Structure formats: C-alpha cells, structure tokens
Copies of this chain bind each other. A is one copy, B any other.
Amino acid sequence: MRKCCEMKGFLSFIVLKMISKNEMSGEDIREELKQRKGSKPSPGTIYPVLKSLHESGFIQECTHGHKIKKYALTKKGKKEVESATKKFCELFYDMRGEFEKCV
C-alpha cells in the first residue's frame, strides 16, 4: 500500500532546520529523527546529507579537532533556511492550523 508521508526529499530541509535551532552533530540528528519518526536513519543517510550541505556552504563545523563534530549554519545557510521555509509554507499551505490540533 502506498505510503503517504515518507520523508523522501525533505531530509536535507529538516536537517537544516534542526541545525538552525541548535548546533548539532550527526548523532544528535539521528537521535532527534528517531524521536520524531520512530526509526533512526542509517549513518549512510545522514552523513552524506551533512557532507552535501557542507559542500553547498550551508553549514560549518563549529567544533574543531573533536571526535564529535557539531554543525551550525553559515550566513548562506540561514538565507537558505529562510527561503526554503517560505517555499515549504506555500507548498503545504493547507497544513496550517494542523499543528495546533496535533498535540
């Protein structure tokens, strides 16, 4: 049966949004996603996303020389989050008001 609410295509957006609120490591993100959707994404899912976001200049390491790398948004990343958020709201226009119901 068709799945109607998979994550495909929005993972990088979610990750970016999460980092915009708190500095986060790959593990932090995996853990947070486990909370939100039940299943913990594979390392092979998260780290390529982080790499790609880094290469796009949206995020940067904010802890250097440590085992655990925390990431934060760059200025460019902040702009990206802003515009992506706008697009998101336009696309999911009819979802507004739903969040309040889903407590």
Among candidates B2, B21, B81, B95, residue contacting A12 with C-beta atoms closer than 8 Å = B2
Determine if A86 and B58 form an interchain contact, defined as CB atoms under 8 angstroms apart.
no
A88 to chain B, nearest CB (A): 5
A18→B94 CA distance, assembly (Å): 8
A36 at interface, CB cutoff 8 A: yes
Determine if A12 and B4 form an interchain contact, defined as CB atoms under 8 angstroms apart.
yes
Determine if B92 and A14 form an interchain contact, defined as CB atoms under 8 angstroms apart.
yes
Query: Residues of A at under 8 Å CB distance from B?
Result: 1-2, 4-10, 12-14, 16-18, 21, 36-37, 52-53, 55-56, 58, 80-81, 84-100, 102
Q: Which residue of B lies closest to A16 (CB)?
A: B4
Q: A85-B98, A102-B86 are in contact. Are A91 and B2 (CB under 8 A)?
A: no
A62 to chain B, nearest CB (A): 19
Determine if A17 and B56 form an interchain contact, defined as CB atoms under 8 angstroms apart.
no
Among candidates B55, B84, B94, B99, residue contacting A5 with C-beta atoms closer than 8 Å = B84
Q: A2-B58, A4-B12, A8-B9 are in contact. Are A89 and B94 (CB under 8 A)?
A: no
